[in-house]
Amino acid sequence: MKRRDFVKTTSLGAIGVPFVFQGVQMNTVLKKLFNYSKNAEDRVLVLIRLNGGNDGLNMVIPLDKYDNLVIQRENILIPQNDIIGLGTGYLGLHPSMGGMASMFDHGKLSILQNVGYEQQNRSHFKSMDIWTSGNIGGSTDTGWLGRYFDSYNPDYPVGYPNEDYPHPFAISMGYEVSTTCQGIVSNYSLAVQDPTNNADLGTNISNPENSYYGNHLAYIEGIINQSNVYGGHISDAVAAGNSLSTLYDETSALAVHLRNIAKMISGGLKTKVYILNMTGFDTHDGQVVQDDVANGVHAQLLKTLSDAVAAFQDDLALLGIEERVLGMTFSEFGRQIASNASFGTDHGDAAPMFVFGSCIDSAVHGDNPDIPDQIINQKGIDVQYDFRDVYASILHDWFQVAESEVQFLFEHQVNLIPIARSCNGPVGIEEDILVRQGTYCYPNPCSEFTTIVFTSQNEQVSLTLLDMNGRVIRNEFSKQLGINEHHVKIEVNDLRAGNYFYLIEKASGSVKGRFQKIGR
């Protein structure tokens, strides 16, 4: 049955949601996995939803606003000495987040401050519709990824899987598919609870031909057939894949799902997007233990998130595939600046997001939130970054989708944020943006030294090392150089693991590059 015929004879409201057959929730997936660049064809995106509205001020703590935080949320505020500093002097993490703090130190965790949208709707359901659809004033019937898939798959779901596209594009870990991947007719993700157990669902469906109900049943039968084929490929990938990290907590559903994702990726599954869900973040009361504010419901949630993500990143590194995977957390809103009398927090506005992986562009995006000593009742964090710009930047930077195509998916004027970067090393370096700008370095990543390559035109040249926040670490040299290409070796053994910039200032055109320090 053709998709256009099915649309004619059905209600979009009825078929735009997943259905359940023999107790298993199913959706078909797309034809073209992404209209992405050839350089990004093996890249994977992992989305982790923090369901309930995460208290960002209890997760990423602005140390330079601590005195005013005491005024606004004294009954739940973490003691300053317990906060894990991030080496910035102005920002720290909750003490239960040691795993993610270590990732930050090693250049594998980025923090986006104050993300949300203006005139925040503090309803869980409406706000999550907005976040998953990527629309504020428009329709929320389709997801931001679903719209993208629809634009390149006019005949979907007919004829898939096939030899060229045998695997599901997106997988929602658990029993429910994510509306992030909802298209006009179908959801482009497959719900998978246990990838090692994908039983054949059977297709014993009575199908009266040339009837309204027969057309419906033919569509359902096609989806069941697709699900059976996809399930077989998923099980094969898990069996062929591996997991090497010993850091996973077997009692954590999030950790188990992430371990299975590592197996699927390493086992050759070509799925591009994995979506996970954590519940419990609606902490109106009992967010902390009254006499021990570093512990409580929220502390345990943050520990579960941090430990699971750290184990996953460790696994990807051990498997040699970490440069293929980028992860991101999101929640429908943050919490209010002031705590309530029930040792909790109420629905707010903006909140921080995490981006993790070995190919992130910067350690911290944005400013610390404004925390005044006096606030209007129910005040939330002001928005600095529109969440839709984060989505657009992921498509543009990670999957290398053209900016014009990205803009088409969103109702507002997109402002791109440098979230992800190329992980190309010396091989294929001619394609790297740094070469086009006139400089690169090798080896990159590096442990003891790196060599910076640039040209000069008989002029004064200075070389400066910077951290990812633009602060000067040290001035390497400032001297007159002739007309030549230079290979300057610099020692980095004294630097902490992480990402760094180098700045070459010269009259003929200053250039800036980046490198990753590993080890130590």
Residue 251: which CATH number? 3.40.720
Task: Kindly indicate the confidence band of residue 36, based on its pLDDT and cuts at 50, 70 and 90.
Answer: low
Same domain, 290 and 225: yes
Lowest-confidence range among 6-15, 41-50, 179-188, 202-211? 6-15
In a domain, residue 421? The reply is no
Which amino acid makes up residue 470?
G
Same domain, 373 and 470: no
Same domain, 216 and 245: yes
* CA-to-CA dists, residue 82 to 95, 411, 438, angstroms: 6, 43, 45
In a domain, residue 455? The reply is yes
> Rounded to an integer, what distance in angstroms lies between the CA atom of residue 440 and that of residue 269?
33
Tokens 């500093």, residue? 85
Which token pair is 118?
A: 């203006």
> Rounded to an integer, what distance in angstroms lies between the CA atom of residue 264 and that of residue 240?
8
Q: Is pLDDT above 90 for 96?
A: yes
Q: What local confidence, expressed as pLDDT, does residue 290 receive?
A: 92
Task: Kindly indicate the confidence band of residue 115, based on its pLDDT and cuts at 50, 70 and 90.
Answer: very high
Residue 107 falls in which region: left (phi positive, over 0), alpha (psi -120 to 50) or beta: left
Tell if the pTM clears 0.85, that is, is over it: no
Task: Kindly indicate the confidence band of residue 371, based on its pLDDT and cuts at 50, 70 and 90.
Answer: very high
Q: Which of 337, 321, 332, 238 is nearest to 277 (CA)?
A: 332
Same domain, 404 and 437: no
Rounded mean pLDDT, 337-347 = 97
Q: Is pLDDT above 70 for 299?
A: yes
In a domain, residue 221? The reply is yes
Task: Kindly indicate the confidence band of residue 188, based on its pLDDT and cuts at 50, 70 and 90.
Answer: confident
Q: What local confidence, expressed as pLDDT, does residue 425 receive?
A: 38
Helix (H) or strand (E) run with residue 215 in it? helix 212-240
Q: Is pLDDT above 60 for 205?
A: no
Same domain, 205 and 92: yes
Q: What is the mean pLDDT of the chain?
A: 84
Q: Which of 311, 332, 331, 330 is nearest to 322 (CA)?
A: 311
Q: Which residue has the higher pLDDT, 296 or 467?
A: 296
Same domain, 467 and 398: no
Q: Is pLDDT above 80 for 123?
A: yes
pLDDT, tens digit, for every residue of 126-167? 999 999 999 998 888 899 998 877 777 666 677 767 777 788
In a domain, residue 420? The reply is no
In a domain, residue 255? The reply is yes
In a domain, residue 422? The reply is no
Range of the structural domain that residue 211 is part of: 3-408
Three-class DSSP category at 476: strand
Same domain, 370 and 482: no
Q: What local confidence, expressed as pLDDT, does residue 12 receive?
A: 32
Last residue of a domain, one of 376, 408, 440: 408
Same domain, 437 and 294: no
Same domain, 211 and 326: yes
Residue 458: which CATH number? 2.60.40.3080
Same domain, 360 and 454: no
> Rounded to an integer, what distance in angstroms lies between the CA atom of residue 128 and that of residue 140?
10
Tally of structural domains, the chain:
2
Same domain, 222 and 298: yes
Same domain, 16 and 90: yes
Q: DSSP letters along 339-392, please?
A: --TTSS--B-S-EEEEEESTTBS-SEESPPPP--SS--TT--PPPSEEHHHHHH
Rounded mean pLDDT, 387-411 = 91
In a domain, residue 98? The reply is yes
Last residue of a domain, one of 408, 438, 466: 408
Q: What local confidence, expressed as pLDDT, does residue 131 receive?
A: 96
